[in-house]
Amino acid sequence: MAQLLALCALCAALCALGGAASSIKFNITTTNIAASWQSSEYNNRCFRDTAVLEQWDYFHTTGTPDSHGNQWLLIKLSRAIRVQSVTVYGRAAVPSRAQNIEILLSDRLPPGLNASNGSCYGTLSGSLSSLTQCGVTQSEQTQTHKVACSYSGCANVTQYILLRKNVRNESDKYMNFQALEVEEASQNAQIYRCEVSGRNLSNCRLNALQTLKNGDRAYMKVCPPCQLPTTDAASCHIAAPSGNITQLRVHGHPDSNLIVIFTSTAESQGGNFTCSFDCLSELPQSATEPIGFFGMQLLCVLFTSDR
């Protein structure tokens, strides 16, 4: 009886974990900009010094694009984050100036940037291969453009955001908007159980170790909560209720997602799957996912109903 009550308590805890990961939204202002560069400056306004929300000139270029026909803004955030979405708020008077803006992300300064020390003005040339596209703002006449980043793995670690608009064939050659909002993915590590389709992982789900059966092969995708110097900076193991620890091999890339594969055993059920991370510039962190007992949820429901 005591064992059954303990199992039901575990079942209830697992059910209470929920599914979706939380996120944080914040506006880009002078307080969270470490540096910025832009293709041109309207009235000599440098974005990193003058980014005031809801002002018509929050960000405003001149009408002269660069040699490639682009207007652009490159922002270095004060800290590295995992970007889930970027929202550009255009002006009611000229909403077209916030349309068709390409949003690109990077964890490092693009090598194609040329700028003098301390200068707000710069040029972009050469390779931008370190940047990953998040998406493009809509072409519709709307003021709010939320661009949700699409990733095949975990959300990329980002410290640089590039907004770029090609105006070569536009009659209005300005890029201009009145606010910029970033949605940061959960700062906690995320542990997903996935299915395998060919050589790719698909249908990845949070809190999915609750229904493992004895002998199931589990393909885990782990999103670290911080920047890792190498894959070796992450370690994962299974702690069985008996106290036995099974170390697991970690594959993947530290800047995207880590892959861990293991086979469930009767001993591991009721234990924990745990990953630890030696972060690059933060304190070490860890994340744990309980391994449930297959079929116990229905048994617990029946048991508690009879009481």
Over residues 80-103, mean pLDDT:
94
Pick from 2-6, 45-49, 132-136: least confident: 2-6
The answer to whether the pTM exceeds 0.85 is: no
pLDDT of residue 218: 93
Question: CATH number of the domain at 24-184, please?
Answer: 2.60.120.260
Among 29-43, 246-260, 290-304, the range scoring the smallest mean pLDDT is 290-304
pLDDT category of residue 69 using cuts at 50, 70 and 90: very high
Residue 8 has pLDDT above 50, yes or no: no
70 in Cβ contact with 9 (< 8 Å): no
Q: Is the pLDDT of residue 76 over 80?
A: yes
Q: Give domain 2-21+188-306's CATH number out of 3.20.20.105, 1.10.600.10, 2.60.40.10, 2.40.50.140.
A: 2.60.40.10
What's the average model confidence in pLDDT over 292-299?
A: 52
The answer to whether 189 and 274 have CB atoms below 8 angstroms apart is no
pLDDT at 226 over 90: no
Using CB atoms within 10 A of its CB, is residue 144 exposed (0-12), middle (13-18) or buried (19+)? Answer: middle
Annotated domain spans of the chain? 2-21+188-306, 24-184
Nearest to residue 209, comparing CAs of 76, 13, 14?
14
Crossing angle of helices 2-15 and 296-306, rounded to 10°: 110
3-state secondary structure of 213: coil
Would you place residue 153 in the very low, low, confident or very high pLDDT band (cuts 50, 70, 90)?
A: low
Tell me, what's the pLDDT at 201? 83
The strand pairing partners of 60, in sequence order, are 176
Residues 134, 84, 279: CA angle, nearest 5 degrees: 110
pLDDT at 294: 55
Question: What is the pLDDT, as a whole number, of residue 18?
Answer: 39
Q: What percent of the chain has pLDDT over 90?
A: 53
Q: Tokens representing 7?
A: 């199992």
pLDDT band at 285 (very low <50, low <70, confident <90, very high): very high
Per-residue pLDDT, 34? 95
| Alpha carbon distance 275, 236 (integer Å) | 4
Q: What are phi and psi of 63, to 5 degrees?
A: -90, 10
pLDDT category at 45 given cuts 50, 70, 90 is: confident
Return d(Cα 257, Cα 92) in angstroms, integer.
40
Stated as kind and residue range, the H or E segment containing 7 is: helix 2-15
pLDDT bucket at 12, cuts 50 / 70 / 90 = very low
Does the structure show a pLDDT above 60 at 228?
yes
| pLDDT tens-digit series, residues 164-213 | 999 999 999 999 999 999 999 877 888 999 988 887 888 888 888 988 88
The more confident residue out of 293 and 295 is 293
pLDDT at residue 25 tops 70: yes
